[in-house]
Amino acid sequence: MGSGLLRVEYIQPGARSGALLRERQAQFGNVLICVGGGTGVEHLADLYQARHKPIIPLDLALGASRDDGIGGSERMSREARANPTPFLRVRPDMAEVSVALLVATATGNGSAAIQQVVNSLMQLLDAIDRPNAFYVRLLNTHMEEFPAVERFFREVVDPVVEKIGYRRLEMGTDPTDHGFVNIEIFERLHYSELAIVDVTGLRPNCFIELGYALGCGIPVIVTAKECTDLPFDQSAIPCHFWRVETDAKTSVQRLFVFIEKNIGRPPLVSP
């Protein structure tokens, strides 16, 4: 699954995590692997599906510690093999073999060779698409700050996003699916695992998207060109200030350290 900051959650029966903990797990985890379980595992899987995050349910009939739920991971495993779309998001080049990879993880309720299951599981994890990092930034080429912002994203942000294992989503640069850009912006932002918001130029649309990401509980990294005068409310959020004069290698390292330090911050409002 690449290097950096990706998180894989593994849930087994008897894990007594409450609803608030599961909300946090779903917010920061990238892939859920579940075994057995009851309502707790099913609730966590629902949270992952609501965020369009991958789920790999294994078919071991271990049951639930409290004898609750409607089948837990074993039931979800059957459903995933019948219809993998709600459970997996694989790389485009692996789409045609996603079902075969999922089927290969079957344990036969423990009868399959352990190494075979492990190898199949690792192949499936490798095929899963990277989580999305949505860019919010100045895109108006006529603005004075555009060349500096463009250089910062191409020379600094792109390499860092690649390093931590995320896939870039930038409107106007990457392929789009909708006829209406405004709809696609908020839909893609809503289901992204990370938002990188640069407020250089103090554009109103950037602040609207920043507020939306914060309200959705998406991990948000805020950046701005040095000397940007941040508005009052936004100035209370940690911000990485970058300099045009700093060489790319140093800028990449500084941004990586900032993200590593701030990506795990709790949402503004806990569920």
pLDDT digits (tens, 9 = 90+) for 104-131: 999 888 888 999 999 999 999 999 999 9
3-state secondary structure of 158: helix
Task: Tell me the pLDDT tens digit for each residue of 18-76.
Answer: 787 888 788 778 899 998 888 889 999 999 998 889 999 998 888 887 778 888 999 99
Mean pLDDT is lowest, of 54-68, 175-189, 211-225, for 175-189
Question: Which contiguous run of DSSP H or E holds residue 40?
Answer: helix 39-50
Q: Could you tell me the pTM of the whole model?
A: 0.77
Q: How far is C-alpha 79 from the chain's CA centre?
A: 23
Say how far apart CA 189 and CA 184 lie, in whole Å. 8
- At residue 226, φ and ψ (nearest 5 deg) are -55, 140
At residue 155 the predicted structure's pLDDT band, cuts being 50, 70 and 90, is very high
Residue 95 has pLDDT above 90, yes or no: no
Q: Where are the beta strands (DSSP E) in the chain?
A: 8-11, 31-35, 55-58, 132-136, 167-169, 194-198, 220-225, 239-242
